[in-house]
Amino acid sequence: MTVKFTKDHEWVRVEGSTAVIGISDYAQQQLGDVVYVELPEVGRKLEQGKEAAVVESVKAASEVYAPLTGEVTAANSDLTAEPARVNSEPLKSGWFFKMTITDPKQLDGLMSEAQYADYVAGLG
């Protein structure tokens, strides 16, 4: 299972021709307690680097950007009822949406887990 990261703190888990998208543990820690998530609709076409979802915490609202270009195939409706999953399990049940991967080469521009850890370490 391949997991890649963006500089905007989204993660991408590749499952065949599908990408599962969420925000990193670092991002949820920076946000604090998540109280609301606005998810993209199934069928929506997303463009790499453009806004795909919104996450709101007690501190701030933040955009979640599409790490790849593709079409939304699923949204995690569990987050609507229980947005705190983003805090408790950001890399598991706290995923935001799934999308088709239309250009696998876009994955090459994302960071590995080790590269992302180095990137985050440099932010402090």
Residue 120: name the closest of 23, 35, 38, 36 by CA: 23
pLDDT digits (tens, 9 = 90+) for 58-87: 999 999 999 999 999 999 999 999 999 999
Q: Which domains does the chain have, with CATH numbers?
A: 2-118 (2.40.50.100)
Decide: pTM greater than 0.85.
yes
16-56 residue pLDDT tens: 999 999 999 999 999 999 999 999 999 999 999 999 999 99
Q: Which residues of 43-63 are buried (b: 16+ CB within 10 A; e: fewer)?
A: eeebebeeebbebebeeeebe
Distance of alpha carbon 75 from alpha carbon 93, whole angstroms: 12
**52 Cα distance to chain centroid:** 9
